[in-house]
Amino acid sequence: MQIIPEGRIYHKYITNLKLQSYGFVLHYAEELQGSVAEFVHCHPLYQIYYVVENSLKMHINGNEFVLNENEFVILAKETRHLVIYEPDKKKRYFSFIFDILPLTLAGNKGPDGAGEFEDIKAVLSDVEKRNYLISDRPFCIREQLENILTEQRDKKVGWNTCLMMRYFNLFIETIRHISTAEVTDRDPVGRLNLAIEATKYIHKNYDKSITPEKAAEYLNISPRHMNRAYRSMFGTTFIKSLNRLRIEYAKIYLCTSTYSIEKISELVGFASSRVFFKLFKEYEEVSISQYREKHCGRTE
């Protein structure tokens, strides 16, 4: 007899989502309806039970608890437990078994900072001390479960990774729900995107006399390093980008003011109106007066 409705069996493979400093290992995940009898058991892994609909009666380390709809319990490793069999009561609950393991990938950087594993471990250590931790307020996971099912059903490009990320996100949201501690991992990780920072510098200072050297000094790196990073990211040079953006910002003045070309040239940071004339024609393939006539409805 098929007890669990088709399509609601979630994950039966041991799968490891590796970040840089730790791994999230999913051993099992399944949605059940209370028609499956359990035996008292424990395992050297963490387990979470969520009540999706109605309520769930459990024995945990010999104590009886009732979890209501949208409540959950996190079980520490080696915690003996049992879902009490009540075939006459309709219910729906979701459970998954997992572990968090440290990795030693020296020198690598990823989205998880050096302290992230320690922050997660601190929350799980609190669970270990108590053997289990029951949520003190509701936490609805219906949308997350449907997203997991969608990934599993549709199997679009990258679905395996997305599926694991959804399980991992569910785990993170769960421990956030029970943790009130301030995290130690407060700084972003990875390498500063120097090219993006350089473009931010251009946008902020395009109306001034700026150079690649000044931008490099602002970023506290050598001009050569900055130029190399910039070209690698955008396929062009700092100066060409600067001139292009000055032309774009000049268009605002051309269409919204009666300023002279000399004035606009000064406002957007060109050294002279002659340079402005030359570069505008080069980039736009029309003269400034032709542009104004076409886009702004007036001539010089």
Amino acid 4: pLDDT:
44
Type and span of the H or E element at 203 = helix 194-205
Taking alpha carbons only, the member of 93, 172, 178 closest to residue 137 is: 178
Report d(CA 110, CA 286) in Å as an integer.
47
Q: What is the pLDDT of residues 89-104, one digit of tens each?
A: 889 999 999 999 988 6
How confident is residue 114, by pLDDT bands cut at 50, 70 and 90? low
When pLDDT is averaged across residues 218-245 and rounded to a whole number, the result is: 93
Summarised one tens digit per residue, pLDDT across range 167-213 is 999 999 999 999 887 877 666 667 789 999 999 999 999 999 999 99
Determine the average pLDDT of the residues in 48-59. 95
Stated pTM of the model: 0.76
Architecture of domain 194-296: Orthogonal Bundle (1.10)
Mean pLDDT, rounded, for 132-158: 92
Question: What's the mean pLDDT in 45-65?
Answer: 94
Instruction: With a cut of 90, say whether residue 109 has pLDDT above it.
Output: no
Question: What confidence tens digit (pLDDT) does each residue in 258-289 have?
Answer: 899 999 999 999 999 999 999 999 999 999 99
What CATH architecture does domain 15-178 belong to? Answer: Sandwich (2.60)
Buried b or exposed e, range 156-172, using 16+ CB within 10 angstroms: eeeeeebbbebbbebbe
Nearest to 134 by CA among 59, 50, 74: 74
CB 3 within 8 Å of CB 36 = yes
Q: In what order do the strands lie in the sheet with 63-67?
A: 63-67, 56-60, 81-83
The percent of residues above 90 in pLDDT, for the chain, comes to: 71
| pLDDT (0 to 100) of residue 113 | 58
Residue ranges of domains in the chain: 15-178, 194-296
